[in-house]
Structure 1
Amino acid sequence: MFSKLFATAVFITLAAAIPNTTPPVTTPTSDQCCNSVVPSSSAAASAVAALLGLDLTGLNVPVGLSCSPITVGGNNCGSTSVVCDAPDKEWGGLIAINCIPITA
């Protein structure tokens, strides 16, 4: 029980220490396989964005959650294939901004 409380306290402290910034919305260039794509105004998108210090207020774009890049070897995505603005080094695949479905 103590370890769960400690982990929660650390998590909340880290989340509070990260300044909220509004991510830029640019032309999507990264093919991604996302577990889900939701509106930027959704509770799920807001929760993940808050963990990363992102403020999605005022954005009106589709947001991919739990995304990974689609490799050149082929599209084996079992979820949603989209092209997004998804800087992996910044957001670690947790969220991608401005996701547009990939059509064959």
Structure 2
Amino acid sequence: MFFSRAIVLVALPLLAVATSRMHKVRAPAASCCKSLEPASSDAGAAALKAISVVVQDVNVLVGLTCSPITVIGVGSGGECSDYTVSCADNSHFPLVGIDCVSVAA
């Protein structure tokens, strides 16, 4: 009896830690990019070279000249006349978004 209670007491904090970490993952925000190129293309390779970034997968899509799309309409607003994308790495905005996926507008 004591052993089963001890296991429950040990397991509960582990469950709480695992649950709190799962909720911190967020989907990348939508962005508007002037062009969407493979990293292996001339334009994609030049943009990555300019910011000194090397990607492992040359087929990854790179968004060029990007800006965030906001719901409120600040910045580029809620519209995109070019490529609406979601990029895994937007730390190099506004120049480059890395590992982008085109999303429905």
TM-score relative to the length of structure 1:
0.63
Q: Runs of 5+ in structure 1 lacking a partner?
A: 1-26
Amino acid at match of 1:103: A
Amino acid at match of 1:61: V
Higher relative contact order structure (alpha carbons within 8 Å, sequence separation ≥ 6): 1
Q: State whether residues 38 and 58 of structure 2, in contact with CA within 8 Å, keep that contact through their aligned partners in structure 1.
A: no
Equivalences for residues 1-104 of structure 1 within 5 A = 29-56=28-55, 58-73=57-72, 75-87=78-90, 90-104=91-105
Q: State whether residues 34 and 66 of structure 2, in contact with CA within 8 Å, keep that contact through their aligned partners in structure 1.
A: yes
Counting aligned pairs with the same residue, the percent is 36
Q: CA deviation at 1:92?
A: 3.2
Amino acid at match of 2:31: Q
Aligned residues: 76
State the superposition RMSD in angstroms: 2.1
